[in-house]
Chain A
Amino acid sequence: MKIRYFAWVRERVGADEETVALPDTVATAGDLIAWLSTVDDRHASAFAEPDAIRVAIDQVHVEHDEPIAGAAEIAFFPPMTGG
């Protein structure tokens, strides 16, 4: 599955995107955040505060309890500060 990162999440992970093979236990966006935080220290730092992370599945905002089955691209980023 393709995962993309933006802003300080991208900086902490150290990559703007990566492709990961997920274990079957990962069903929702929140599960994915929990799993990513165990990958290494950089991911652990990026996902240390799950509440500060926003999620988009295939470029549409979703809540953390959204199932990720069938998604082509999942993105993680901090709350937006445009405008």
Chain B
Amino acid sequence: MPAKPLVRVQVEDFDVAVESARLTEGRRDIGAVVAFTGLCRDEGGRLEALMLEHYPGMAEAEMTRIAEQACSRWPLSGLTVIHRFGEIRPGANIVLVVAASSHRRAAFEAADFLMDYLKTRAPFWKKEIAAGQSDGGWVAAKDADDADAARWQGADDNAPRQP
């Protein structure tokens, strides 16, 4: 029975420690928790903030589809995925993935997979607000992100590894 992921889309910040503890509390079978946090960079001082736009409803639905894929692909004990929207300043959190499993490989790989797919499939868009409050334009999608996501398709060498 695959783990049921917790997915949230919110303006509010999140707490990595709280979210990790939520997955491990009362459990004795978890041997690995991998938490990935994506933060807003200032791009060498050029960036004042990011405005993150999302597609309400579809964002939650797509993140849930991606998270459920990870839960059926790796033997996870728990999985939490949180993505923020709205104005996010340099140094602040954008996205969190916490994957828990009996063994480390599944937790690492599931978190890596989640981030590759979130970047290319979840309906969020970043607009840069440059220093001086001028409109810095929309962040363009990167081919490298598509290539990262494509790593998980097809070949059996990407199948879940047993501990």
> Interface on A for B, CB 8 Å cutoff?
4, 6-8, 56, 59-61, 75, 77-83
Contact partner, A81, options B58, B61, B125, Cβ 8 Å: B125
Q: Is the CB of B122 within 8 A of A82?
A: yes
B115 close to chain A: CB less than 8 A: yes
Q: Helix, strand, loop or mixed for chain B's interface?
A: mixed
Bound-state Cα–Cα, A7 to B118, Å: 17
Query: Contacts A78-B138, A81-B138: A6 and B122 contacting too (C-beta < 8 A)?
Result: no
User: B103 an interface residue at 8 Å Cβ cutoff?
Assistant: no
**CA gap between A28 and B54 in the complex, in Å:** 24
B52 within 8 A of A: yes
B123 at the A interface (CB under 8 A): yes
A19 to B151, CA, bound (A): 39
A6 in complex: contacting residue of B115, B125, B140, CB < 8 Å: B125
**Known contacts A59-B57, A81-B125, A82-B124; is A8 also within 8 Å of B119 by CB?**
no
Q: Which residues of A contact B95 (CB under 8 A)?
A: 82-83
Q: Taking each of A6, A7, A81, which has the highest tally of chain B beta carbons within 10 Å of its own beta carbon?
A: A81
